[in-house]
Structure 1
Amino acid sequence: MPEAIERPSDSESVAEIETVHAPVEVPAVQSTIEFSDHQINEPQSWSDRPASIEVTPEISGDTFGQHDAVPLFDAADSSDLERIAAVANETMPASQPRGYAELPPVDSAIKIPVKIDVEDLSSAGIQPIGQLHESFIIAVDNEGLLLIDQHVAHERILFDKYRRMEADRSIESQNLLLPETIDLSPAQSEAYRLIENDLESLGFGMMRLSGRTVAIKSVPTDLPANEARNLFAEILDTIDAEKKGSPKSTLRDDIAASLACKAAVKINMKLSPEKMQWLIDRLLVTTSPTTCPHGRPVILRLSMRDIERGFHRS
């Protein structure tokens, strides 16, 4: 019969458990850790450890098995490193294609003549093919390419029209909904006195109120109504600057030129093919198709000979 096992009493078990779980005080151990060229005398308390430690281990032969590590470059030969550094430092704009430096200089193209002679324009055959920046008409004829300033071309057309209709006293007018009242300066009042009758012959309906105050009742039909005040002031200032010793015909030309400039089509204005053709046809029958009333060129020509020479085909 097996022997009975003697069980410890409850008091003995509690004492034994307290003995096992009693805290043991261990003295702090100072350890020396080598990291590269630095020595850190570090206690084993984790609260005193630095946040991060950079360790550069030494690679030994057995790190990669039995084979030694293969160096990327021969330390004795620095030419490879210099060549790679030169390639890395080479800068070339990404937007420039190969051979960019071989293109001809910008200013090596042929020079376009500033203006064109009337004799060089054929009476027919000029056809518009488009607009450049909605400001210049691009046209072609048998001789080559033409660029026409749409504003000054229309200005020349209107100037000739106003001078002709002024002589015939046949300029049509449009009444303003509300008369424009203007207070004149002494100089403007004197200029107005000189050209009062000429303004009426050009389609302006004027009325003197009192002193130096005048009212514009009507303007030529070609002129936008909202331009009446500005145009009237511009005409008076021009006459004031040129009134001394200027013949009457010159003053009338100044008025017609100012009126034509305000009424002409503007740059940055899209034109239909029909409108462009109309401008070309009317321009060719004016008294001076190549210059505007202020003396600026109207047409630039690039002949086929110039084009072929520019592309080295002749």
Structure 2
Amino acid sequence: MNADIRNIRPVIRQLDEADANRIAAGEVVERPASAVKELVENALDAGARRIEVTIAQGGKALIRVADDGCGMTAEDLPLALARHATSKLADGDLVNIRSFGFRGEALPSLGAVGRLSITSRVAAEAARIELIGGRLSPVRPAAGNRGTVVELRDLFFATPARLKFLRSDRAEQQAVLDVIRRLAMAEPHVAFTLTDETDGRTLFRADAEQGELFDALAARLDRVMGREFAENAMPVHAERDGLSLTGMAALPTYSRGAAVAQHLFVNGRPVRDKLLLGALRAGYMDVLPSGRFPAAALFLGCAAEDVDVNVHPAKSEVRFRDPAAARALIVTAIRHALAEAGHRASSTVGTATVQAFRAEPAGPSVHTAPLRYQGDYRPSLGAIQSSFAMQAPGVAAGAGFTGAGFAGGGFAEAPSARVETDPAPATDSPLGAARAQLHENYIIAQTADGMVIVDQHAAHERLVYERLKQQAADTGIRSQALLIPEIVTLSDSEAARILAIADELADLGLVIEPFGGGAVAIREVPAMLTRIDGPALIRDILDDLEEQGDSQRLQARINAVLSSMACHGSVRSGRRLTADEMNALLREMEATPHSGQCNHGRPTWVKLRLADIERLFGRTGL
């Protein structure tokens, strides 16, 4: 039988239009969210200022996109549903692309796998056309407002096998919501609404923002990514070599457990590009612990001819004419923003601390609301005076209240707490003035509007670490020559790739040379790395170069050694500090970049606002 099959000559035939459209749909429309993306991008290209999206069953049963854009005439509608027909590619110029769409594949692909109808109005009359399973209906008059309404029902009814690969309605609904959120960030001057027709719920709403671009963008990010992100984000601005970068990047202590809050845009187009995501990780390399991911919304702008968006049918990947410049701009801008942030730590750390202080209910009868003094329950004047007397310094033993817990009178200083008898005056400095040291590790400082708790070991460890890094940058990394060079056998292309960055590696103490053929010789290694597997390191660096175009692996290993040195050379837990030493530590933290988190990415200090503390004791409203 196999012999018979080999003797049969396959016949080449032209695919009919329906089959070709279904194949194209497999590349363009993977799930309902893909269809929503294509339709909303068409609306944005049409100049819409208000876009309303309605879905049912996560988009499987219905996707409706209504806009107030320029619309299409009755003569345009049949052409809009023809393959490779578009109004966005002037004179076939694939270099100067300034629109979201340009392939002319989305609408015919959607009509090939679902029941598609378009109603559009330009002037006095509207027109409607349908494309169901690849079958085109004639254009008919219709009623409608200015703009376009595209309705897609029963997605993948013509290719039922694709339905088996879709996820639950809730998961598909969330994917649609993520698409709308990203496009809303890209176009802050456009109003977006997403509604679930099943129960009439509004899943997302963002009114058009006013003002200049950055002000509108900041307001839109506040609406889309949440108030917490806005409060804990740093503005990012940078320009270099015809590239511009703007947006917001979160503090390291406001990190996430997954890369769900990373939004990157190129010339306003949402992308998921490995080069840019790698640059974002590199920017946070030295301030985030393993397993944590930064949150950011970054907008990279460049000349249209400097980026190729015609790489993937979904247009989610791009190629830069100078990828190294794009990557360097992102890394440098983020590191500069982190340095400008100085000692800042995220406000969510303080919120979590306040929540940790709240007492757990003892039982079902315990009131969860804070106590309020009202009417006869307000303490008397005598009780208040006795309370103040108990807090006065030098209270004699036995004075004031007596009984259980108060037999000794006054308050006894706990062995693990040191209180400054002559504390420094109140200060307007961000980290305040030191008032006490608890458990020989935690500094309590008073600020103008609250208090700060500092982990002295973690804070000083970061300060020493930053000094060591600065010394290494000023004097260079010392290298140690190997008695016998290590030979690493590579392919010719790999050897060329690693030797292209030989000068950069030499600055970090790793000296390599060509050894003939595809081999390279490791002549010197960083002196501080006592144990190093040279060949494995070379191959790891090559993997980084292949994946993201750059490698921070050797720098990360050197930083790990410096971090360990800082840990052993910093103030240890259990050491008592004087008031001058504590305040000197606070002032140095304020002047040192990245001092808001330790070498492992954890916060070094927590701030509690006075209002939060008062709420803990039910003092609000008194």
Task: Give the structure with higher Rg (CA).
Answer: 1
TM-score, normalised by the number of residues in structure 1: 0.39
TM-score, normalised by the number of residues in structure 2: 0.23
Greater relative CO, 1 or 2 (CA 8 Å, sep 6+) = 1
